[in-house]
Amino acid sequence: MGASTSFRRFKADLGLDKIKQLWTAAVEQSLYEDGHQYSGEIGMLGSKVAQWHEPAFEGPEAENQAYTFIEEHHEKWRPAIAVSFIKNREKYWLIGGWCSS
């Protein structure tokens, strides 16, 4: 069985409660649009975010570092993980992981 990564990015100034709500809504939308089994999309991760990693990555490669961090630290079948990064002086949260497909 395969896997692919899927992510969503949120501005940190929304606050963690709002980001969690938006993540849950995105997961539910994915389940509706992509199905409940082996879609390779975020619906496979579930609405729980298992870990929130800080401090943020900074610099010109910060966003790519955040993607790489999740790819290297997340395990398929586990809840999503989140990592922060700063891009153009704005902080973001990247949430995602390996999704079964």
Q: What is the model's pTM?
A: 0.92
Using alpha carbons only, what angle is made at residue 3 by residues 81 and 94, rounded to the nearest 5 degrees?
25
CA gap 37, 51 in Å, rounded = 23
Q: Is the pLDDT of residue 1 over 80?
A: no
Read off the pLDDT of residues 66-81 as tens digits, 9 standing for 90 and up. 999 999 999 999 999 9
In the chain, where are the structural domains located? 3-100
Strands (E) across the chain are located at 3-11, 49-57, 80-87, 90-100
Read off the pLDDT of residues 5-47 as tens digits, 9 standing for 90 and up. 999 999 999 999 999 999 999 999 999 998 888 888 999 999 9
